[in-house]
Structure 1
Amino acid sequence: MTPIRVASAATGSALGTGFLVLATLLVLLLAASVVALLVQRVRRRRHDAEARALAERLRRDAYHDALTGLLNREGFLHVAAEPLADGGAVAVVDLVLLGAVNDTLGHARGELFVRLAAERLTGAGAGVAGDGFVAARLEGDTFAVVLPRVDGRDAHRAAEVLRELLLPPYLVEGVRFEAPVVVGVAADGPWLADVPAGPERTSALLRRADVALAATRDGGEPVRCYEPSMGERAARRLRLIRGFSAAVARRDVRVDFQPVVSLGERTVIGVEALARWDHPELGLLLPDEFVPVLEATGQIGELTSFVLGEALAAARRWLDRGMRLSVAVNVAVANLGNPGFPDEVASLLVAHRVPAELLTLELTESGVSSEREVALPVLRRLHGLGCRIAVDDFGTGQSSLAHLRRLPVDQVKIDKSFVLGMGTECGDVAVVRAIVEMGHTLGLQVVAEGVERAAVRAALAEMGCDVAQGYLVSRPLPAGCFDAWLDSLDVRPREPGTAAGPRTLIA
């Protein structure tokens, strides 16, 4: 019996050891599970913290400008709602300088200027607006500021103070720049009665401040408060923007022609093509009203193409009648920034079978001066086609002689303000004489615009001015009326052996 007891004891011992091992394993597994759970919880918390940090960073990026750290437009709409809850105003500030800094020192320095402007705006705005100060960078060097708890008059005064604090020159890597600084302001008022508080009200104020800012660019005071009449003008501009393409298709847009006369021989040698818009509701619109709108919205190319086509079609019609009349078409800076523009002009010349030398492209002195480096290659290609290049409104820009020497120019047109003043202002007579002499020294043809009196025409002829146009000769006329006007003039017979057709005489 003894061996059996020994075996049982051994078996019990083995079973005890097995249970101990199993228990140990269970404890280890339980501990491992607990550790895994703890690690997972730590990781989840870390992940949650990282997710919250990422969400916060994304939220901040969505509402803030990366360059300056200020709010962006979307962030401004939300954050500005609180300080505007008790009334106030929004001011939109444009320093009008970033383009000059970029052109002079490059875009990296332009960004430096924007940061300097943002820092100055933050300091100035906090002093003007107090505890409710909120600022945002909308775009470029244009910023928005909340002026809390002020009415229209106080808002205008606060905006003037803010502007004065932003006017001192900016030093960008040793170069001094003076910012013009214009401000548009919109204050809380009855016109906001139906607009709910919050981002929607902020947006309404911001839109109207933008409208007031646009009014400062039309001249006058550098700080303008929004008025309902400005909103009417903005609505009018919007109607023009939306309706232009359809107006061209309906032929509501037309081209009138104003004759250009040789002062020496008193003959009609060409015309200037001028766009007119017969709007069904707004009446007859002149280029001064709709061209700036089209330039701002990128539709000016469509207008230029239309006028070019109409002008060259008229030139072909006159050639077929034996009259070799040049046509002058105004060209916008945006056209000169389009590398494909010379190809378009070349195609139209071929399509209408008009010699290139009968097309004159007119550009404003101020426009080409501001974008000279972009425009110059396109101008050279146009000149290479054989087209004539004219500088319009000459005498009103800056560094006129320097610009002329670099441009492929054939003609200068004296700004009509000087010509109109010749009858009463000795200074204007001196300016016109100087331009005529300078133009001839550079080998250019000189045109006087705005000739309305016979005495002025005689004085221009005495100075040696080459060409004149103005109401003394004729107002701009629709194509049919212009043809009738031509037919009413005396005609000089064509000289034998000459290629040119009959030339009309002016009394």
Structure 2
Amino acid sequence: MTPVRAASGALTGTPLEPGVLAVSAVLVLLLAAAVAALIVQRVRRRRHDADARALAERLRRDAYHDALTGLLNREGFLHAAAGPLAEGGAVAVVDLVLLGAVNDTLGHARGEVFVRLAAERLGAAGAAVAVDGVAARLEGDTFAVVLPRVDGHDAHRAAETLRERLLAPYVVEGVRFEAPVVIGVAADGPWLADVPAGAERTAALLRRADVALAATRDGGAPVRCYEPSMGERAARRLRLIRGFSAAVARRDVRVDFQPVVSLGERTVIGVEALARWDHPELGLLLPDEFVPVLEATGQIGELTSFVLDEALAAARRWLDRGMRLSVAVNVAVANLGNAGFPDEVAQLLDAHRVPAELLTLELTESGVSSEREVALPVLRRLHALGCRLAVDDFGTGQSSLAHLRRLPVDQVKIDKSFVLGMGTEYGDVAVVRAIVEMGHTLGLQVVAEGVEQAAVRVALAEMGCDVAQGYLVSRPLPALGFDEWLDTLDVRQGEPGTAAGPRTLIA
């Protein structure tokens, strides 16, 4: 008897067959494999759970943080600011107003370097004014910070200190940039009494800080605290934004015409087309109120197209009546950044059968100065169509003799503030005279806006100014009223015996 058999027999009393032993060994191996598989499965599950938790944490962080700077994003700020603001405080929105210049000068990659530098400086500056570590990048070079446990006065003072620390120049790739830095502030107050604490209250403060920031862009102090009147203006702007397209469709937006007169012969040679909005609730709105809103929201192209269409339709009516009057239409910087704008102008000229030389496109001096490189190709294409180009409000911006020489313009319009001052200010007379002489040196036609006194008209004519417009001739008139005004003018026909030509209207 073998030792195994002897042992087996001793335990069971019955010898084990070799086949039974083999089955037992297999069962043991299977059991061991199952236990091992179970252990591996549990280890993998724990590892998977850990990976899942890490992934969830990373996704949560990404959802609440800005990838470029590591600061909170807008959504993260709404949640993180709730704690520090529980005992009162304020939210400040900081706009460095510089990213566009860095991008245009050095490219977007260097723009990202600037944003990171700004975020680092904001963190250091915030620590000095007790920002409590809650700061966010909202978009571009616009940031938000919490000013905890301060009232409106202290919040304004803290924001001014924050701005002073952010004003130091930035150096990117060896190029020095100075950030203007404007800040809007909204502090806790009675107007938040019905707003629940937490993210909702933070959102209310952030919205009002944005409104205060927008007020800084309208001029005045670079740090502004929210006031209820600002909210009223913001609501008015929102009403204009939402209602503009419908107003155009209803013809609540119209085009008025102001005559342009040759100073030498006192003949009407054209008009300027001016948009007006007959708002059913707000009354008559002039361009100074609604054009900036449309520019900010990208709707200015719709207005320009509407005015162009109306102006060229009027020019066609006058041609059909034997009157060759040019029409001038104001063009925004955004139009000049649109490569398709010259094609649109060409199509409208063809549709109305108006010669291109009867259309003058007026560009603001400040707009052309700031966006010259972007606008120049479009200006050249418009000029190649045969359209005349004019620089409007000349004398208030940064244009120079050298600057004008590089632009394909035909006309400069002296800003009306100088013309209105000619009756009382010798300095304004000198400015107007200098612009007339400079314009003629460049071979440009010179137009004086805001002519309201006969003595000023005489002085302009003596200086050699070419064209005038203003209330002395006529206020802007609706289309029907302008046609009636034309009918009151003296008319000089072409020479006897010649083919019938355009009528000359004497104002």
Q: What is the Cα-based RMSD across aligned positions, in Å?
A: 2.8
Report which stretch shifted further, 448-457 or 369-378.
369-378
1:425 to partner: Cα distance: 2.2
CA 1:13–1:492 in structure 2 vs 1: closer, same or farther (change >3 Å)?
same
Contact kept? 2:9, 2:16, Cα under 8 Å: no
CA 1:2–1:418 in structure 2 vs 1: closer, same or farther (change >3 Å)?
closer
1:402 to partner: Cα distance: 3.5
Contact kept? 1:324, 1:501, Cα under 8 Å: no
Gaps of 5+ in 1: none
Contact kept? 1:492, 1:502, Cα under 8 Å: no
Contact kept? 1:356, 1:385, Cα under 8 Å: yes
Contact kept? 2:388, 2:409, Cα under 8 Å: yes
Contact kept? 2:5, 2:16, Cα under 8 Å: no
1:19 to partner: Cα distance: 4.0
Q: The residue matched to 1:186 in structure 2 has which SS? A: strand
Give a deviation string over 1:63-95, Cα, whole Å, max 9, x none.
111110101111111111111111111100000
Contact kept? 1:256, 1:478, Cα under 8 Å: yes
1:506 to partner: Cα distance: 4.7
Contact kept? 1:323, 1:500, Cα under 8 Å: no
CA 1:215–1:18 in structure 2 vs 1: closer, same or farther (change >3 Å)?
same
1:505 to partner: Cα distance: 5.0
Q: The residue matched to 1:84 in structure 2 has which SS? A: helix
The equivalent residue for 1:60 is 61
Contact kept? 2:493, 2:504, Cα under 8 Å: no
The equivalent residue for 2:442 is 442
Q: The residue matched to 2:452 in structure 1 has which SS? A: coil
1:100 to partner: Cα distance: 0.8
1:476 to partner: Cα distance: 0.6
Contact kept? 1:269, 1:503, Cα under 8 Å: no
Give a deviation string over 1:113-167, Cα, whole Å, max 9, x none.
11111000011112212536x1100111000111111111111111111101100
Contact kept? 2:163, 2:183, Cα under 8 Å: yes
Q: How far apart in 1 are the matches of 2:309 and 2:70?
A: 50
Q: How far apart in 2 are the matches of 1:379 and 1:76?
A: 44
CA 1:353–1:397 in structure 2 vs 1: closer, same or farther (change >3 Å)?
same
Contact kept? 2:8, 2:16, Cα under 8 Å: no
Contact kept? 2:492, 2:506, Cα under 8 Å: no
CA 1:141–1:17 in structure 2 vs 1: closer, same or farther (change >3 Å)?
same
Contact kept? 2:418, 2:432, Cα under 8 Å: yes
CA 1:6–1:222 in structure 2 vs 1: closer, same or farther (change >3 Å)?
closer
1:497 to partner: Cα distance: 7.4
CA 1:187–1:6 in structure 2 vs 1: closer, same or farther (change >3 Å)?
closer
Give a deviation string over 1:270-293, Cα, whole Å, max 9, x none.
000000001111000000001111
Contact kept? 1:267, 1:503, Cα under 8 Å: no
The equivalent residue for 2:451 is 451
1:341 to partner: Cα distance: 1.4
Q: How far apart in 1 are the matches of 2:31 and 2:496?
A: 118
Contact kept? 1:411, 1:445, Cα under 8 Å: yes
CA 1:498–1:339 in structure 2 vs 1: closer, same or farther (change >3 Å)?
farther
The equivalent residue for 2:419 is 419
Q: The residue matched to 1:68 in structure 2 has which SS? A: coil
Q: How far apart in 2 are the matches of 1:491 and 1:2?
A: 141
Contact kept? 2:64, 2:73, Cα under 8 Å: yes
Give a deviation string over 1:177-209, Cα, whole Å, max 9, x none.
111000000111111111111111111111110
TM-score (normalised: structure 2) = 0.95
Q: How far apart in 2 are the matches of 1:286 and 1:301?
A: 17
1:241 to partner: Cα distance: 1.0
Contact kept? 1:93, 1:144, Cα under 8 Å: yes
1:99 to partner: Cα distance: 0.8
Q: How far apart in 2 are the matches of 1:239 and 1:224?
A: 23
Contact kept? 2:132, 2:147, Cα under 8 Å: no
CA 1:461–1:18 in structure 2 vs 1: closer, same or farther (change >3 Å)?
same
Q: How far apart in 1 are the matches of 2:497 and 2:421?
A: 43
The equivalent residue for 1:202 is 202
Give a deviation string over 1:430-458, Cα, whole Å, max 9, x none.
22222111111111111111111122212
Contact kept? 2:186, 2:206, Cα under 8 Å: yes
1:379 to partner: Cα distance: 1.4
Q: How far apart in 2 are the matches of 1:30 and 1:370?
A: 81
Give a deviation string over 1:285-343, Cα, whole Å, max 9, x none.
00000111111111111111111111111111111111100000011111112222111
Report which stretch shifted further, 180-189 or 459-468.
459-468
Count residues with an aligned counterpart: 506
CA 1:224–1:6 in structure 2 vs 1: closer, same or farther (change >3 Å)?
closer
Give a deviation string over 1:339-391, Cα, whole Å, max 9, x none.
22111111111111111100001111111222222222221111111111111
Contact kept? 1:493, 1:503, Cα under 8 Å: yes
1:464 to partner: Cα distance: 1.2
TM-score (normalised: structure 1) = 0.95
Q: How far apart in 1 are the matches of 2:2 and 2:356?
A: 132
Q: How far apart in 2 are the matches of 1:17 and 1:155?
A: 92
The equivalent residue for 2:391 is 391
1:2 to partner: Cα distance: 17
Identity across the alignment (%): 90
Q: The residue matched to 2:37 in structure 1 has which SS? A: helix
Question: Are positions 1:28 and 2:41 aligned together?
Answer: no
CA 1:24–1:347 in structure 2 vs 1: closer, same or farther (change >3 Å)?
same
